[in-house]
Amino acid sequence: TLTAPAPFADETSCQCQAPHEKLTIAQARLGTPADRPVRVYADGIFDLFHAGHARALMQAKTLFPNSYLLVGVCSDDLTHKFKGFTVMNETERYEALRHCRYVDEVIRDAPWTLTPEFLEKHKIDFVAHDDIPYSSAGSDDVYKHIKEAGMFVPTQRTEGISTSDIITRIVRDYDVYARRNLQRGYTAKELNVSFINEKKYRFQNQVDRMKEKVKNVEEKSKEFVYKVEEKSHDLIQKWEEKSREFIGNFLELFGPDGAWKQMFQERSGRMLQAFSPRQSPNSSPTRGRSPSRSPSPPWVINKTSPPSSPKAASASLSSMSEGDEDEK
């Protein structure tokens, strides 16, 4: 586990202790003893250290099974002379390299062109860099002599990112970054902004703040409307559930086969029974009459003995009338 930044070469004795016999690329790829790592050198400006730089160093570190990566960083004077002005100063660039996980040692104030003396001093086996010819300092390719000596190992560039691309974005969106830094407390003098541009940027910042407030109000209004719609939907759903429950209970009570009909039928039966009680039994005595005699109504004709002649019929009628007079 890495717990400290990579050391500087001029402050430590980071030297290979084993005899430094020359290696070929084939021998290095097969692997070397633990006490004889392959010393790989990569150099550059490393301004605005980004993922493209880190990926190149990762490739240089993993070229061989057992490797020790030395990274040379050119100073401000040398860089401004041959390449141009940098965004980060040399101290910032040195520190950026020290904290890259693939770097074992950082060489400050590295030379622009590699000399045999420099290679021998740091016991460098191979130089890692992309294979595109790098014309500078009056040379079509500053790594030409390294390639001829068989010490050059190519790496691949990461497309889509470079220090020049990042600087181009900053220049293109200069107004945006100037407004942002003014809003964060930087002065117009620190940003090298004129008085008129300062007022313009501050006014634009106020307009943006107003737009943001309006946007927040709109979002809150939409959220409120959404909550109201959600609440109303819940209320309607609950009302439908309650109404279905109420209708079901009503039909259960007052429907065709409901409890109310059964209860009404039971009560009506009880009332009819109360108003018209059952007749007394035939064996009960009749008030004012003898038990042995039960007269029949005068209009009832005895069917058992019909009169045989008109005379007999008149005789029976006269006897019935006499009987009635006796009762009176």
Sheet holding 126-130, edge to edge: 105-108, 67-73, 38-44, 126-130, 152-155
Q: Which two tokens stand for residue 249?
A: 């209970």
Residue type, 178: A
- Enter the pTM of the model: 0.62
d(CA 100, CA 145): 29
Q: Residue 19 has what pLDDT?
A: 63
d(CA 98, CA 106): 6
- Of 110, 152, 161, nearest to 134 by C-alpha is 152
Domains and CATH numbers, the chain: 25-160 (3.40.50.620), 164-261 (no CATH)
Q: Residue 260 has what pLDDT?
A: 67
In this prediction, the residues of the chain whose per-residue pLDDT falls under 50 are 286-288, 290-294, 299-301, 303-305, 308-309, 311, 317, 321-328
Q: Residue 280 has what pLDDT?
A: 53
Q: pLDDT by residue (tens digit) across 160-176? A: 999 999 999 999 999 99
Determine the 3-state secondary structure of 48 from DSSP.
coil
Helix, strand, coil abundance in the chain, percent, nearest 5: 50, 10, 40
